Chains A and B, each alone.
Chain A
Amino acid sequence: AQKVTQAQTEISVVEKEDVTLDCVYETRDTTYYLFWYKQPPSGELVFLIRRNSFDEQNEISGRYSWNFQKSTSSFNFTITASQVVDSAVYFCALSEVFTGTASKLTFGTGTRLQVTL
């Protein structure tokens, strides 16, 4: 069975600090996808990134960066110079890979990030 663990329930930082959200996953599949979604206070889920298990390159998008390490089954998310608008719950998720079938995501329990002035 697949499992995603986000051990950090809540993190509070002051604006402009860097923050890393941890994600550890378990799967028996050799091929899989990992995701990060953001849930701002308004409640909707916003897609941030998708990474497949064959691609261990780190990715940077503006102030966001992701560190995928297959050896430790981790897919951590770093926000550089955090801003108040980054305050949200962040979910890591894992999906099996079957071309042409539905993506049944397994979500972690989320990390609530609070950025204050």
Chain B
Amino acid sequence: NAGVTQTPKFRILKIGQSMTLQCTQDMNHNYMYWYRQDPGMGLKLIYYSVGAGITDKGEVPNGYNVSRSTTEDFPLRLELAAPSQTSVYFCASSLTVSGANVLTFGAGSRLTVL
């Protein structure tokens, strides 16, 4: 059982380049999330999805786009990379249960924009 898989683990981008962080889960979770973690800070929610075809903004969505065409996949796209987007990105998923859901996180993707 792989859980939540993120690729790539590391990436260096130049300012203005674009890229997609991939996220796949095999737990049949309907909810998926993207968080970013800046040094010395907690995780901040970028986007989330409650199911295929449905996405919504989190706390820090500017500069990012997402799509959810299948239950399993939730890619995060950076269109014009900026140094402020240097961070560690975590994808997570959860299942619908009563009350607040427990999130299962991927291993993270470290992105550096130079």
Q: Which residues of A contact B (CB under 8 A)?
A: 4, 9, 32-33, 35, 37, 42-45, 47, 50, 52, 91, 93, 95-97, 99-110
On chain B, the number of residues with a Cβ less than 8 Å from chain A's Cβ atoms is: 29
Min C-beta distance of A100 to chain B, whole Å: 6
B96 interfacial by beta-carbon distance below 8 Å = yes
B 1-40 to A, binary, CB cutoff 8 A, 1 in contact else 0 = 0000000000000000000000000000001010000001
- Asked whether, in the complex, the Cβ of B101 is within 8 Å of the Cβ of A103, the reply is yes
Contact B33 A102 (CB under 8 A): yes
B30-61 vs A, CB cutoff 8 Å, 1 = contact: the mask equals 01010000001111110011100000101000
When distances are taken between beta carbons in the complex, the residues of chain B under 8 Å from A35 are: 100, 102
Among the listed B49, B100, B104, which residue makes an inter-chain contact with A50, where contact means beta carbons less than 8 Å apart?
Answer: B100
Instruction: Considering the complex, give the chain A residue whose CB is closest to the CB of B54.
Output: A102
In the complex, residue of chain B having the shortest beta-carbon distance to the beta carbon of A50: B102
Q: In the bound complex, what is the Cα–Cα distance between A10 and B7 (angstroms)? A: 30
A-B contacts, 11 listed (Cβ < 8 Å): A37-B105, A44-B107, A44-B108, A45-B103, A91-B43, A93-B42, A97-B99, A99-B99, A102-B33, A108-B42, A110-B40
**Assuming the A-B contacts A95-B100, A105-B45, are A43 and B40 also in contact, with contact meaning beta carbons closer than 8 angstroms in the complex?**
no
| Residue pair B100, A97 in contact (C-beta under 8 Å) | yes
A108 surroundings in chain B (CB, below 8 A): 42
CB of B43 within 8 A of CB of A105, answer yes
Cβ contact within 8 Å between A103 and B107:
no
